Amino acid sequence: MNGLKASEVGFAMVLILLGSIVEGFGYGLSLGTKWPYTRNIVLLMVRGDPEAAHRVVATLVGLVALALVILAPGISTISGLILIVVTALFGMGTLYVLAGRAPAFVHGTHGLLAYGVFLIYLTGLAYPSLDFWTYLGAMGALHALLLAVFLGGMTTGQRGFGSAIGAFVQPKKASQWTVAAHISAGLILVATLGYMMPAYPIAFYLAVGQFAVGFLLFHAVSLKPKDPGIMVAFHQSMVLLMALAIVLVWR
């Protein structure tokens, strides 16, 4: 069981990072709006399409979750499987967001749910006797992190596929207002972790450093809106590290 839980945590992290690579290198609509598979999806994955790899890994996440439900049915394992199904459905919705046929809220919710999947299995592995939903309700640091995650997904969805946000001092369009909200959520996260010091020092320093990474990412999106590059994945990896630092109480 621990091996399956650890595998699920690893697959969930890989899935989130693959999603950021898809965004960073402009593969969001490489398979069009066809979902979940195309006839040659494995071949496309082998040839290096990260969107194809993203969907194959998502399938692995679902299969491991199903195995966990069969072997150890309970609130956490069943909740995890339900979260995966809902996340997958919103994943389909993100294709329509990028195609301009669905609101940015769908993209933000997809990112939020993806982190929910990661956290439910991480918590189950680290604290097997805890109820995840009770734990999540008591973790103010995770609330602040998940708010930033949601608004980060909203930022991607609001700007659309291959569109620049544009430099601004005062927001004038929806994508700029979303960026401003995302920055505010980042400040709330830093303030929350700072208030809780010295409980989560590594998470706090990562959150502070994330502002520099975010500035570089904004610059990359401005220069190459269709494929801003590796900074998207680096930005996402910092968020994953923050989540790990909070749940595992890294010092």
CA 144 to chain centre: 14
Q: Give Cβ neighbours of residue 147 (< 8 Å, ≥ 6 apart).
A: 185, 188, 189
pTM: 0.95
What are the CA-CA distances from residue 213 to residues 29, 68, 217, 231, 242 (Å)? 25, 36, 6, 8, 14
SS3 state at 185: helix
Of the CA atoms within 13 Å of residue 164, those in its CB half-sphere come to 9
Distance from C-alpha of 27 to C-alpha of 5, rounded to nearest angstrom = 30
CA 243 to chain centre: 11
pLDDT the model gives residue 35: 87
Residue 139 DSSP symbol: -
> What does each of the 251 residues of the chain score in pLDDT, given as a tens digit?
889 999 999 999 999 999 999 999 999 888 888 888 888 899 999 999 999 999 999 999 999 999 999 999 999 999 999 999 999 999 999 999 988 889 999 999 999 999 999 999 999 999 999 999 999 999 999 999 999 999 999 999 988 777 888 888 899 999 999 999 999 999 999 999 999 999 999 999 999 999 999 999 999 998 999 899 999 999 999 999 999 999 999 87
Distance from C-alpha of 251 to C-alpha of 100, rounded to nearest angstrom = 43
67 C-beta neighbours (distance < 10 Å), count: 16
Tokens of 59: 């399938």
CA 186 to chain centre: 15
pLDDT the model gives residue 138: 95
Nearest-CA neighbor of 153 among 208, 84, 87, 247? 87
Q: Give Cβ neighbours of residue 201 (< 8 Å, ≥ 6 apart).
A: 251
Distance from C-alpha of 207 to C-alpha of 191, rounded to nearest angstrom = 10
Burial per residue of 148-176, b for 16 or more beta-carbon CB atoms within 10 angstroms, e otherwise: bbbbbbbbbbbbbbeebbeeeeeeeeebb
Element (H, E) at 41: helix 41-46
Residue for token pair 């430099």 = 167
pLDDT the model gives residue 45: 94
pLDDT the model gives residue 32: 84
Distance from C-alpha of 205 to C-alpha of 201, rounded to nearest angstrom = 6
